[in-house]
């Protein structure tokens, strides 16, 4: 009986021992969780120090309850509570706290590593800054040597170009072009200035005239140009751009932060950087594009869009409107664009037909005339005065015989002056003579413009037509000779192959009109028609002249040699209007022509001619016969 009682007490002792072990294990976990000092401090705050050191299970459990629940108001453990269930809940709570502590320690380690990395970077930057303060200049022997070479180059210069000295600085120094200068000034000095295209041969002052015109009108009240209005000049042949818009010096482009080199402070944050173009630099002033006809057609269309919007818009896949790091100016550029309100002035040596119709429709057009020999003479005299060059009498006239544009006249004068200077034994002064000019002409392989002889004596099978090329006009000498065919109806027609297909068509038109008006069949003749000089007649305007010279050759009627004719001949004998009549007429006047026969439909554009030159309008080719033919 005593043995049974002992066996009953032993399981009770084992259960109590297990409870002590589990409680002790929880305390060790708390010690690992908070540390010994932390555990004592927490127990002291929760009034659990005495309970922790007690031998009673209930007291130690109560201490654990207070610390785990952070509640010092828990006063007792209910006797009827199942201690094992209570300990199980505490163990789960301890496991959760330990797991959280492990995660926090891992995160803390990562944070500490990041802080160490940043600290090292910061420390490196501080070291670099200290080094820069200690040695503020990055120079070394090699860089100083290159800098010295650059300084030497800056201090060494040749005399400025003679063409720069001779460039007109006042509108009065632009010789001729009175109509063009007046038109340009009037179109700019208005509250509503328009875009402009300047046509004309090279070297007549188009660029200089535009620059001086802005200087004359800006700041005046009747136009919108302010005193600081810019004049941005660019050559259309140099405006290369990337269709992908990675670069566009005219309109501007966007440099993305990865491939195109945005500024460092922007690239590090992945922010694209807009680069304004010339249209934005010209805002409020004039954008002058020389040789605008040479621009890429697609770029011209993009320019037209800017002219319409008066603003340039940019796009980039790297731009994020919600990114708070983007500077305000970049945000405004992407969202509102950059203002580009300017007046476009384009200059070209091409004909209007070769310029984009869309561009021409938005621009006023001004035409500069080719220079006459008298105007070249005046330019040479003015340039000699600017350069303080003494010239022999007749030098300016000699240059005017060989040169047709101002820039080349100045170049020839400077070349002749160099020859005179090197030939002279004394340094100054020297005189440029005609022999110096002839030598310079010989060195430069300059040939005089082809001039057709104009005379008073009539000639059979020879007539003067009118042609135009490169904004210049002149005479076309056409001749013909006819022989009876060896066999009637088997005659041949020989015509210049170089004259072009349109001139050849004019021969066939003339043959039809001849047969209609006179009954003559060209197949009964061996006919040879020649355009002297082998010129390519790009257009039908020689049709009337070809008909008359054929008629002269067949009928042996002499043609007056002081008269020129131009006009397209239809197969019904009508004389149709032609283009470039102004240039053709000026060329005829300067060649010494006294009378000019033109289509009557061209009289709405009747050109201004010199005194003594008669303009004869005709509608039908027969109306020209009394003026062209002269009795022997």
**57 lies in the same domain as 140:** yes
Structure-derived torsion over alpha carbons of residues 285, 290, 294, 300, reported in degrees to the nearest 10: 0
Given pLDDT bands bounded at 50, 70 and 90, which one contains residue 268? low
Catalytic option among 280, 316, 541, 552: 541
Total count of domains within the chain: 4
Expressed in percent and rounded to 5, the helix, strand and coil fractions of the chain are 50, 15, 35
DSSP H/E element including 399: helix 395-402
Q: For 596-606, write each residue's pLDDT tens digit.
A: 999 988 876 55
Structural contact between residues 516 and 547, judged by C-beta atoms closer than 8 angstroms? no
Between 93-102, 243-252, 265-274, 490-499, the lowest mean confidence (pLDDT) is in: 265-274
In terms of domains, do 396 and 258 share one? no
- List the catalytic residue out of 181, 206, 218, 584: 584
**Helix spans in 460-542 (H):** 501-518
Res 632: pLDDT: 45
- The pLDDT mean for the chain works out to 82
105 and 140 co-located in one domain: yes
My answer on whether 321 and 228 are in the same domain is yes
For residue 52, pLDDT over 70 is answered with yes
- For 271-293, give one letter per residue: b (16+ CB within 10 A) or e: bbbbebbbbbbbbbbbbbbbbbb
Higher pLDDT, 604 or 37: 37
Q: Do 425 and 407 sit in the same domain of this protein?
A: yes
- Tell whether the model's pLDDT for residue 259 goes beyond 70: no
| Four-CA torsion 575, 578, 583, 587, nearest 10 degrees | -30
Residue 451 lies in a domain: no
pLDDT for res 3: 44
> Are residue 397 and residue 359 in the same domain, yes or no?
no
Query: Tens of pLDDT along 448-478?
Result: 776 666 777 888 889 888 888 777 788 888 8
Query: Residue 578 is part of a domain; what is its CATH number?
Result: 3.30.230.10
- Do 351 and 379 have their domain in common? no
- Helix H segments across 240-372? 264-267, 278-281, 297-309, 328-336, 357-361
Rg (alpha carbons) of the chain, rounded to whole number:
49
Q: 181 with 270, same domain?
A: yes
- The answer on 357 and 231 residing in a single domain is yes
Mark whether 600 and 471 lie in a shared domain. yes
Per the annotation, the verdict on 512 as an active-site residue is no
Mark whether 266 and 411 lie in a shared domain.
no
Active site residue 53: no
Three-class DSSP category at 55? coil
Tell me the residue range of the domain where 616 lies. Answer: 459-628
Q: Which helix or strand (DSSP H or E) is residue 575 part of?
A: strand 575-576
Tens-digit pLDDT profile for residues 316-355: 877 777 777 788 888 888 888 899 999 999 999 888 888 9
Phi, psi of 137 (to 5 degrees): -100, 135
Instruction: Please count the other Cβ atoms lying within 10 Å of the Cβ belonging to residue 300.
Output: 20
State the helix-helix crossing angle for 395-402 and 406-423, rounded to 10 degrees. Answer: 130
- Average pLDDT score over residue span 519-535: 83
Q: Do 18 and 42 share a domain, yes or no?
A: yes
CA-based nearest residue to 499, from 545, 461, 459, 559 = 545
**Chosen domain end from 396, 416, 443:** 443
Strand segments, DSSP code E, in 372-458 are 390-391, 431-432
């Amino acid at each position: 009986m005593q043995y049974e009682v002992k066996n009953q007490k032993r399981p009770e002792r084992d259960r109590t021992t297990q409870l002590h072990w589990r409680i002790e294990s929880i305390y060790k976990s708390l010690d690992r969780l908070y540390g010994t000092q932390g555990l004592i401090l927490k127990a002291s705050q929760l009034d659990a120090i005495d309970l922790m050191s007690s031998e009673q299970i209930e007291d130690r459990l109560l201490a654990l309850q207070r610390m785990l629940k952070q509640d010092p108001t828990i006063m007792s453990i209910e006797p009827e509570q199942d201690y094992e269930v209570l300990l199980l809940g505490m163990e789960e709570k301890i496991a959760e706290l330990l797991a959280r502590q492990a995660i926090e320690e891992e995160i803390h380690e990562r944070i500490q590593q990041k802080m160490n990395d940043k600290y090292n970077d910061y420390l490196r930057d501080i070291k670099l800054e200290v080094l820069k303060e200690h040695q503020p200049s990055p120079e070394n022997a090699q860089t100083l040597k290159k800098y010295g070479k650059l300084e030497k180059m800056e201090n060494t210069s040749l005399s400025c170009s003679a063409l720069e000295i001779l460039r007109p600085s006042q509108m009065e120094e632009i010789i001729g072009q009175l109509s063009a200068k007046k038109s340009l000034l009037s179109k700019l000095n208005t509250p509503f200035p328009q875009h402009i295209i300047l046509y004309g041969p090279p070297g007549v002052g188009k660029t200089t005239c535009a620059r001086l015109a802005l200087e004359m009108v800006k700041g005046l009240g009747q136009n919108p140009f302010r005193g600081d209005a810019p004049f941005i000049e660019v050559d259309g042949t140099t405006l290369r751009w990337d269709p992908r818009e990675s670069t566009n010096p005219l309109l501007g482009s966007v440099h993305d932060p990865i491939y195109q080199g945005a500024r460092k402070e922007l690239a590090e944050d992945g922010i694209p950087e807009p680069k304004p173009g010339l249209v934005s630099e010209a805002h409020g002033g004039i954008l002058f594009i020389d040789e605008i006809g040479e621009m890429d057609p697609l770029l011209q269309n993009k320019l037209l869009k800017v002219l319409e919007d008066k603003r340039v818009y940019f796009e980039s896949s790297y731009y994020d409107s919600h990114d708070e790091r983007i500077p305000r100016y970049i945000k405004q550029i992407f969202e509102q664009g950059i203002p580009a309100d300017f007046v476009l002035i384009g200059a070209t040596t091409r004909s209007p037909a070769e310029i984009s119709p869309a561009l021409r429709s938005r621009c006023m057009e001004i035409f500069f005339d080719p220079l006459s020999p008298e105007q070249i003479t005046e330019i040479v005299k003015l340039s000699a005065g600017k350069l303080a060059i003494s010239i022999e009498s007749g030098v300016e006239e000699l240059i005017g015989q060989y040169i047709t544009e101002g820039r080349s006249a100045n170049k020839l004068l400077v070349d002749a002056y160099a020859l005179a200077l090197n030939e002279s034994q004394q340094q100054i002064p020297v005189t440029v003579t005609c022999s110096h000019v002839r030598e310079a002409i010989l060195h430069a392989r300059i040939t005089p413009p082809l001039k057709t002889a104009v005379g008073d004596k009539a000639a059979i099978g020879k007539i003067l037509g009118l042609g135009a090329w490169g904004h210049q006009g002149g005479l076309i000498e056409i001749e013909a000779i006819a022989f009876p065919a060896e066999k009637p109806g088997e005659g041949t027609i020989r015509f210049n192959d170089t004259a072009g297909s349109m001139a050849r068509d004019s021969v066939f038109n003339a043959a039809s009109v001849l047969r209609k008006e006179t009954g003559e069949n060209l197949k009964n003749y061996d006919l040879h028609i020649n355009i002297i000089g082998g010129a390519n007649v790009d257009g039908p305007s020689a049709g009337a002249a070809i008909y008359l010279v054929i008629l002269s050759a067949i009928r042996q009627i002499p043609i007056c040699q002081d008269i020129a004719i131009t006009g397209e001949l239809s197969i019904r004998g009508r004389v149709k209007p032609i283009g470039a009549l102004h240039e053709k007429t000026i060329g005829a006047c300067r060649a010494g022509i006294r009378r000019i026969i033109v289509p009557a439909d061209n009289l709405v554009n009747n050109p201004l001619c010199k005194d003594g030159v008669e303009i004869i309008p005709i509608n039908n080719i027969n109306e020209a016969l009394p003026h062209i033919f002269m009795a022997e």
